[in-house]
Structure 1
Amino acid sequence: MSFLVSLGIDSKEIPVPLRPDPLTCSRVLMEDYIKLLNKGAELTGDPLFGFALGKHIQAKDYGVLGYLVESCENLEQAIQALTRFDALVADIGTTTVLYEIDDTRIQWTPQCIDCKQMVLRNTTAWVATVYKILGPSCKLTAITFTFSLNQSEQEILQEWFGCKVTGNADSNSIIFPRHLLHVPFTSENKAMFNALVEVTEKELLSQNKSAASQYIKNKHEEIKHKAIALLKANPTLKNCDQQRIANALFISSRTLQRKLKLSGTSFQQILNDERKARVDKLLINHTIADTADLLGFHEQSSFTHAFKKWFSTTPMKYKKHLTAKE
């Protein structure tokens, strides 16, 4: 809606209000989201409105998901975080990653039909974000869409994506060379993340009292679920401390601690729960020292001490038991 206004569209022409999703309260219904995107295409006369909008999506618009992508070491980890966490941010489709011989294919299947603008918006926004992170090294192989594209639309998209774009395909896909998975994210990501936090905090402070009150209401339970989801989405738990998770949620460490206490838990408790959930798989595939490291313990002795509290045995005995079962 802000993008439409920036294009000179009278705000009175934009359909509001948007109905809240009864399951989340903090989101709008998907059908309303699609109607708004289609209305944007109608008001601007642009059949590629979703594409135009996607190019203008900023890091701050991704919130927690933006944090996950920025905090990963490379594109492979970022994609893993995306596929595990995307539905918690916007449950509007299913992401599948296919690893081919030379390429990686990200397929996105929306939960509804007649959503050309939504697919264009999401695909473009994802690619725009990766462009900002990887820069000139990011060269796509192809983009495919399930809906039809006329020649003019196809040419516009191909010029921006820098690769072949086809319509009427079997899937909505982003296809890129497999080697890009391992290109390390540069230090600019941290700067982008810091800027994202700063901008978002300023926006929260500028909200009027009524909006701020609505934002705060019953947030402690939602914060708990978001904190848990952040831990689950990280490929490893190294450096996943309370301050880092608080930064991702745009709140202070003290506020996170208070909200978790109100929801009947603590950061240490949810971190230990996630550690215990991962320990079997890690011990089967890694040494005890590596497992401790991947679970975020600075010393193996600390891991052993915690492990005895969890399972009343040592990691070595537990690992032997797991191996015997295999």
Structure 2
Amino acid sequence: MKTLADHYFCSCLDYLEARGLASHEVLNAIEFNEYTNKQTQQLAPRISLNSYNTLLNYAKEALNEPLFGFKLGQQIRTADFGVLGYLIESSTNLASAITALLSYDRLVADIGQAKFEQHQTLAKVKWLADPQCSSDVILRNMTAWVSVVRQLLNPELSPSCVYFSKVYSSTEQQMLANWFNCPIKTNAQYNQIEFPTSYLTLPFKTDNMQINLVLKQMSEQQLSQFKSQQQLTGKINNILMAKNDLQKCTLIRTASALNMTPRTLQRRLKQEHKTFAALLEAERKRRLSLYINQYPLNTIAFMLGFNDQSSFNRAFKRWYNINPRDYIKNTL
């Protein structure tokens, strides 16, 4: 199950309190039931992605803000990220902060995977969101990253371009462009922030090497504990999402990557009421939604790991009850 830390979830409630929505009323409205102690309404240490999606959707409607996740992301505090926030805050520069993010992002939310690319003059941070993440979850995540960097470096700092996998209206796109102060691309293959590589060496005002070292040790301990508790389903999803394409993503290879036999992997997945085939199919469908208007069908078939075009066509028709060519014609 995909989850996020209670403090990250509670930061949404804090924001709603400031907007006049009482936390207990909000939680009752979304029928929240993830407590360790129902009487004192003490939240569990990890909250499900489903509850997070429901909270953001409720807030969007209650406040009549179509881009609620964007508004929420602007109000982020480093403390909302817990130990990771303080680790980033005490980093030497943006490069070391991104390293911390890539290493320990799961401590805040195990709902996607961050990747970093550095080219000659341009750097990129990609976020591969879980298929269940709503538009507002993605908006908050991407906006919060830029907001934190501005707080720690320079409020006038802007990316070169920001990409969103979701689709927004022209008015919404303009609102995003005004705040990010750069071009906004929607319906993109990835959620991605591009910025000049020169930003990587800009020093943080809050740099503290000794505190950073202590926080890094704490993060390692917490991550080790989290990994030991993580379900096998989540580990396999992370492996699949990290692949550039899904060629050769087989049960045998995945079991080997997890240092277990295929039989053991199947048995443990059965305990979680899952199968490897179902997880692979879910990842194929997630990627298909990103690829369908970006690449030719034969390229998509290869990237999704099908052996031939006909196998891809049969799978597509099983998923959507229509063949891919007719689907594309109907959406144009």
TM-score by structure 1 length? 0.55
Compute the displacement of 1:97 (Å): 0.5
Q: Is the contact made by 1:85 and 1:229 (CA closer than 8 Å) also made in structure 2?
A: no
Compute the displacement of 1:126 (Å): 1.0
Compute the displacement of 1:109 (Å): 1.0
**Which residue, 155, 174, 183 being the options, matches 1:155?**
174
Q: Is the contact made by 1:50 and 1:118 (CA closer than 8 Å) also made in structure 2?
A: yes
- C-alpha separation between the residues in 2 aligned to 1:99 and 1:226? 25
Q: Is the contact made by 1:41 and 1:49 (CA closer than 8 Å) also made in structure 2?
A: yes
Compute the displacement of 1:230 (Å): 7.9
Q: Return the structure number with greater helix share.
A: 1
Q: What's 1:111 paired with?
A: 130
Q: What's 1:29 paired with?
A: 48
Structure 1 gaps, min length 5: 198-223, 232-326
Task: Name the amino acid aligned to 2:106.
Answer: A
The root-mean-square deviation of aligned C-alpha atoms, in Å, is: 2.8
Q: Displaced runs of 4+ in structure 1, greater than 6 A?
A: none
**Which residue, 18, 23, 33 being the options, matches 1:6?**
18
Name the CA shift for 1:227/1:34 in 2 (closer, same or farther; >3 Å): same
SS at match of 1:17: coil
Q: Is the contact made by 2:73 and 2:140 (CA closer than 8 Å) also made in structure 1?
A: yes
Q: What's 1:228 paired with?
A: 221
Name the CA shift for 1:112/1:225 in 2 (closer, same or farther; >3 Å): farther
**Which residue, 144, 151, 155 being the options, matches 1:125?**
144
**Which residue, 105, 109, 117 being the options, matches 1:90?**
109
Encode CA deviations 1:117-167: one digit per residue, 9 max, x unaligned: 001011111111000111156221011101101011011111111111121
- C-alpha separation between the residues in 2 aligned to 1:154 and 1:39? 22
- How many correspondences in the alignment? 198
Structure 2 gaps, min length 5: 1-12, 37-42, 225-332
Pairing 1:64-213 to 2, within 5 Å after superposition? 64-113=83-132, 115-136=134-155, 138-186=157-205, 188=206
SS at match of 1:135: coil
- C-alpha separation between the residues in 2 aligned to 1:114 and 1:89? 15
- C-alpha separation between the residues in 2 aligned to 1:74 and 1:18? 40
- C-alpha separation between the residues in 2 aligned to 1:48 and 1:133? 24
Name the CA shift for 1:54/1:137 in 2 (closer, same or farther; >3 Å): closer
Q: Is the contact made by 2:92 and 2:207 (CA closer than 8 Å) also made in structure 1?
A: no
Q: Is the contact made by 1:18 and 1:32 (CA closer than 8 Å) also made in structure 2?
A: no
Task: Name the amino acid aligned to 1:139.
Answer: S
Instruction: State, as a whole percentage, how many aligned pairs show the same letter.
Output: 34
The structure that has the greater radius of gyration is 1
Q: Is the contact made by 2:91 and 2:207 (CA closer than 8 Å) also made in structure 1?
A: no
Compute the displacement of 1:56 (Å): 1.0
TM-score by structure 2 length? 0.55
SS at match of 1:28: strand
